[in-house]
Structure 1
């Protein structure tokens, strides 16, 4: 979008203080747009002088309505329950992802906001089945087949967003135009949700095995490619672009399917750690994740521990699913740029991460043996014994 078009726009970003939201806000700001960040927590970085932060909760309609007033376009990024123990908090997931989205849509209609871009997820069509070069003609995964509540609620939210396309605006002759972007896993320097968790597993010696087939393929998207896709989608909702993205969903990734563990090899080895050689079948890891979730359900109210993996994370990392970028390229003009993990490795190194060698080789071998033995013992303890009922 040209700068002279941008400086006429006021954008509201829900979840704008998160990693991706803030990166998008800064990119829009550089092009002359006026930005309001709406989030439950303040930004970690100092804001440019004319960028506004509004602290609020999308579950509270009055707060949403106040933030939306006077806005031209909303980027609805805020969500909850994407990974780890957050995936197991069903009540909060439902309230944020479903009710929060309904509040955003209502506020847009009642305040004359004509454009809304929703940040969705691959998960709306994926639930553990193999998908190779899928496209937007794929149906939503039936709600009861989702292995986690986050994916189910993101599906409900995306449906609501796309159904709201064309809704008449109160006190305005125009209509609300909406679209949804379905990104792959996001990476980039400074990403705060997934990469620090992976690095902590590496540094604590937990990342000692891989799983699934070496030929399984998944996708990732660099944060700057995702920023570009969102700006293009917002532009494609305008009359100048014939509202071409209105009512549409788009898969967004770097367009380079890769084995999940091979994707992270440069990070592991770049920080000075050996890449695991032990490989488990995905069925065994899925069983382990299932048992972990069961234990969390029982003791979570008293001790909200971080699961090593959830069932959805096992599927997302170990089962082939990748998608065509043809629609995004044709209708949005999306052209993903090449990126790798080099800048991510340097970001972690600059903050003191990296191999700290201590202990003998014999000690490390013993720790590896004990870890694998304990893992197998836990899984086997839950299997039925022959001849028992």
Structure 2
């Protein structure tokens, strides 16, 4: 990045996996970095990177954080997966109100650039999309199967609307853009991969679902870092602000079946890959029942759902997008990665199949699995006399 050496970047959600990787990359290039998050990074910030504890739901804290900043990477969000997806109030407070606070503070404190980390989900709600591009309209808000996707869409719309807003000190205007990444992976990722490995090790990952030809996308963390750096650069006067007001789909550019993507991880940890394939509709119904159960008992016992409806769609329904716009306007060139380094990372943490695992435990899990799906199948049958 040509002008990074004198720039100061604020990264909201900077203690998270991706935000921290972005911070380290920019720091190596000579930029000044401020991490803004509710908790410090677990691995500690490298020397020269400033951590500022704060909450984007609190405007005064956000306003203080953006003072003197050249560009904001707004990554902080809540409710992406698992039981988090079911906490509607917190999702809206962080994703919508938090984004409005960041945008308002940028205008008040004359921050000229903002890059927003959005999601594929702003256009996807379970329908098949093949090689879609940025001309696709936002999915109508009432059609989103989860509140996270709905609020991310609302936040992205607010970011797009804020592009061109006059800065309070009269120095110019705020330039904004949005990146829509696929599912993020890489060594040390803490949100999705540990959950998947947990299912594998507990013997829960005993089936796949959907059609073998269904295709989805992923993005390696280093490719996503590169895309964000390029997007911020493309907001500058030197680059004619060419990314201003624009959204970009970002992935590795290699559509793949969701379960086949994870095969190297399953087998790399010494486990057999499931042979049983179940219908997507059955798994969706199971996820629906799980969400309803969580709604009833969640206040007393906030359990982790095996899957949510949105996760079923995201993993079992074809949706992938063209990188043409990101390549042409940002110069984005995704590098090729695989799961080898992810497997090595988990093995270094003591994961992997242990010898002499209990056959009785495996048989019990298989029995429970069969019983659960028989119960679901029976629930479709009409009640006698009705």
On the 8 A contact 1:80/1:86 being kept in 2, the answer is: yes
Structure 1 contact 208–368 (Cα < 8 Å) conserved: no
Aligned pair partner of 1:185 in 170, 183, 186: 183
Find the counterpart in structure 2 of residue 321 from structure 1: 319
Matches within 5 A, 1:198-209: 198-209=196-207
Does the C-alpha gap of structure 1 residues 371 and 10 become closer, same or farther in structure 2, counting only changes over 3 Å?
same
Match of 1:256 among 231, 238, 254: 254
* Cα deviation 1:307-348 (Å, max 9, x = unaligned): 000000000000000000000000000000000000000000
1:8-47 maps to which residues of 2 (within 5 A)? 8-47=6-45
Aligned pair count reads 386
With over 3 angstroms needed to count, the CA separation of the structure-2 counterparts of 1:388 and 1:250, relative to structure 1, is farther
Unaligned runs of 5+ in 1: none
1:366 aligns with 2:367: no
Would you say 1:379 and 2:365 are equivalent positions?
A: no
Q: What does 1:1-389 align with in structure 2 at a 5 Å threshold?
A: 1-2=1-2, 5-359=3-357, 363=360, 366-389=363-386
8 Å contact from structure 2 (residues 327, 333) kept in 1: yes
Shift of residue 373 of structure 1? 1.7
**3-state secondary structure, aligned to 1:372:** helix
Partner Cα separation in structure 2 for residue 238 and residue 188 of structure 1: 29
Following superposition, the deviation at residue 172 of structure 1 comes to 2.5
The CA deviation string for residues 108-151 of structure 1, in whole angstroms up to 9 with x for no partner, is 00000000000000000000000000000000000000000000
Answer yes or no: is the 8 Å Cα contact 1:14–1:37 preserved in 2: yes
Q: Distance in 1 between matches of 2:375 and 2:5?
A: 59
| Counterparts of 1:342 and 1:187, CA distance in 2 | 12
How many Å separate the matches in 2 of 1:81 and 1:234? 25
Q: Taking structure 1 as reference, are residues 360 and 189 closer, same or farther at Cα in structure 2, changes over 3 Å only?
A: closer
Backbone CA RMSD of aligned residues = 1.1
Identify if the C-alpha distance between structure 1 residues 79 and 359 changes in structure 2 by more than 3 Å, giving closer, same or farther: closer
Taking structure 1 as reference, are residues 365 and 198 closer, same or farther at Cα in structure 2, changes over 3 Å only?
Answer: closer
Q: CA deviation at 1:46?
A: 2.5
